[in-house]
Amino acid sequence: MPLVSIRDVRKSYGPIEVLKGVSLEVEKGDVVAIIGRSGSGKSTLLRCINGLETYQSGAIMADGIEVGGVRANLRELRRHVGMVFQQFNLFPHLTAAENVMLAPMVVNKVAKKEARAVAAEVLAKVGLSEKMDAYPSQLSGGQQQRVAIARSLAMRPKVLLCDEITSALDPELVNEVLRVVEQLAREGMTLMLVTHEMRFARDVGTHLVFMHHGKVHEQGKPKEVFAAPKTPELQQFVGSIG
Amino acid sequence: MLQFSFWDILSNLLIATGWTIILSLIAFVSGGLVGLILLFMRTSQIKPLEWFTKSYIEFFQGTPLLMQLFLFFFGIALFGVEVSPWLAAWLALTLWTSAFLTEIWRGCVESIPRGQWEASSSLALTYIEQMRYVILPQALRIAVAPTVGFSVQVIKGTALASIIGFVELTKAGTVLNNATFRPFLVYSLVALIYFCLCFPLSWCAKKLEGRLNAAR
């Protein structure tokens, strides 16, 4: 059974249909890169997977849990589906370690000492062992985003959703974040990334999805798709990115 | 005939001031507690709860505090329950305070960026947990100044309790005026005492506001 399966999902904001029947399957260990123009529905799709957005029809199953279901299911789902945002969204009143420790302690009822050990482990993984007790405002954008990744990892997610996580970063800070994601991919983490980093999508992704006008327009192995895009829309898109 | 010196008047007023302070404090604290519960209901996104708190707030903000005092003082008596001025004043001021504090605090909660809600949702926190660990600690910082500022309104609001016979500063002033026939002196002193209670609070609120704005 696929880890995430999306079947014919439709969503509209009022009269505007942003997802027009999207289907997609993600297996364990897949690194799915979702690309497309802004407004193509790629972020909305990602946000539907952990229930941040609702959808009108179709079905999404993540880790065996129906996303459109009742509230209790959503909590169970989110324990296993992590998300990292474009704007980091760290909790500014908490230190890096406290940001990471919050969900394990509150949701999983892990003892403080144990949570602190987990925080040390995941912050080390993203290369921020020295910054455990720093507040977000004392960190650079790249460091903040790495703390946000660590915060998700602390819940031991089965799949990590990354919503344009380098788009708000200064160019020189992009690579430190991508390196962390690449390492996660190598370790077998299942990833779904909405991204504008085409080179990263090609080199690290195992599967590429091109979204256009609320639909999966073209998909396949990243290297093959980039080398020979079939549809004129993707040809144009790849061309415009350069 | 009994003679009242200036000091007699002043000392009697000061004793009554104690009751004004006590009523203000109790109304503020209990109003704050009720307000906090209402705040959770108001921001819960559960329609019936939101609708209830909205109407509650509209009622207490949209009618004069004096009417609310009358309603509690005379209204409850209709059911055969004896209501002391003290109890009626406490109840009315508590509910009135809670309505205003809920609105003030709702503004503070809504000023927290949506990303904070989304990030904490994604980490599987429930609404109550989000409020407790993520939203309120941040909203509190913003809320301090307007909350302190509003406490001035509560102190001034207690003056109305004099009309249902609760002996606080204003009522004591009225009684002393009836005995001395020196309204200008008596009410000047009453006003001065209110000012001495309220001014430090509004000054404090202004200070806090400035400091928080600078911190941003």
Asked if residues B124 and A103 have their Cβ atoms less than 8 Å apart, the reply is yes
- At residue A69, does pLDDT exceed 70? no
B121 close contact with A: CB closer than 8 A? yes
DSSP string, B132-180: IIIIHHHHHHHHHHHHHHHHHHHHHHGGGGGGGT--SHHHHHHHHHHHH
Q: Which residue type does B201 have? A: L
- Amino acid B82: pLDDT: 83
The Cα of B165 is separated from the nearest Cα of chain A by a number of Å equal to 47
Asked if residues A161 and A46 have their Cβ atoms less than 8 Å apart, the reply is yes
Neighbours of A172 (CB within 10 A): 9
Instruction: Select the residue of A52, A81, A107 nearest B118 (Cβ to Cβ).
Output: A52
Record the tokens describing residue A190, joined without a space.
């299942």
Using pLDDT thresholds of 50, 70 and 90, give the confidence band for residue A149. very high
From chain B, the residues in CB contact with A93 under 8 A are 137-138
B123 close contact with A: CB closer than 8 A? yes
Instruction: Please count the residue pairs, one from chain A and one from chain B, whose beta carbons lie less than 8 angstroms apart.
Output: 56
Q: Which residue type does B15 have? A: I
Distance CA B177, CA B159 (A): 16
Asked if residues B198 and B152 have their Cβ atoms less than 8 Å apart, the reply is yes
From chain B, the residues in CB contact with A90 under 8 A are 119
Mean pLDDT throughout A143-163? 97
Q: Do B129 and A106 touch (CB under 8 A)?
A: yes
Q: Do A103 and B126 touch (CB under 8 A)?
A: no
The Cα of A79 is separated from the nearest Cα of chain B by a number of Å equal to 6
Q: Do B122 and A50 touch (CB under 8 A)?
A: yes
Residues of A with CB under 8 A from a CB of B: 50-52, 75-76, 78-79, 81-83, 85, 87, 89-93, 102-103, 106-107, 148, 151-152, 155
- Amino acid A70: pLDDT: 61
- Amino acid A103: pLDDT: 97
Q: Do B137 and A93 touch (CB under 8 A)?
A: yes
List strand residue ranges (DSSP E) for A63-202, in order: 65-66, 81-84, 159-163, 190-194
For A75, nearest residue in chain B (alpha carbons) = B124
Instruction: Select the residue of B116, B137, B138 nearest A89 (Cβ to Cβ).
Output: B116
Task: List alpha helices for B43-130, DSSP H.
Answer: 47-62, 65-70, 85-110, 114-122, 127-130
Record the tokens describing residue A116, joined without a space.
């602190």
The Cα of B129 is separated from the nearest Cα of chain A by a number of Å equal to 8
Q: Give the number of C-alpha atoms closer than 13 A to the C-alpha of residue A39, restricted to the C-beta side.
A: 2
CB < 8 Å & 24+ apart, contacts of B109-114: B109/B39, B109/B43, B109/B135, B109/B136, B109/B139, B110/B43, B111/B139, B111/B142, B112/B138, B112/B139, B113/A89
- At residue A73, does pLDDT exceed 60? yes
- Amino acid B216: pLDDT: 46
3-state SS assignment for residue A104: helix
Mean pLDDT throughout A216-221? 95
User: Which residues, in sequence order, are bridge partners of residue A191?
Assistant: A31, A160
Instruction: Select the residue of B113, B123, B138 nearest A78 (Cβ to Cβ).
Output: B123
B126 close contact with A: CB closer than 8 A? yes
User: What does each C-alpha distance from A83 to A170, A183, A190, B118, B120 come to in angstroms?
Assistant: 21, 17, 12, 9, 10
User: What does each C-alpha distance from B131 to A83, B40, B144 come to in angstroms?
Assistant: 20, 8, 17
Instruction: Please name the residues in contact with A66: beta carbons below 8 A apart, sequence gap of 6 or more.
Output: A59, A60, A73
- At residue A119, does pLDDT exceed 80? yes
SS3 content of chain A, % helix, strand, coil (to 5): 40, 25, 35
From chain A, the residues in CB contact with B116 under 8 A are 89, 91
What fold, for B6-215?
MetI-like fold (1.10.3720)
3-state SS assignment for residue A195: coil
Instruction: Select the residue of A85, A93, A155 nearest B118 (Cβ to Cβ).
Output: A85
Distance CA A214, CA A193 (A): 17
Task: Give me the average pLDDT of each 10-residue run along chain B (216 residues).
Answer: 81 94 96 97 94 97 95 88 89 96 96 97 96 95 93 95 91 92 94 96 89 61
Distance CA A84, CA A79 (A): 14
DSSP code for B113: -
Closest CA to B43 of B124, B116, B105: B105
Distance CA A235, CA A241 (A): 10
3-state SS assignment for residue A89: coil
Q: What are phi and psi of A81, to 5 degrees?
A: -120, 110
Residue keyed to tokens 């993600």: A26
For B132, nearest residue in chain A (alpha carbons) = A106
Each residue's pLDDT tens digit, A171-188: 999 999 999 999 999 999
Q: Do A152 and B116 touch (CB under 8 A)?
A: no
B115 close contact with A: CB closer than 8 A? yes
Neighbours of B175 (CB within 10 A): 15
The Cα of B49 is separated from the nearest Cα of chain A by a number of Å equal to 17
The Cα of A9 is separated from the nearest Cα of chain B by a number of Å equal to 20
**What are the b/e assignments for B41-58, b being 16+ CB within 10 Å?**
bbbeeeeeeeeebeebbe
B139 close contact with A: CB closer than 8 A? no
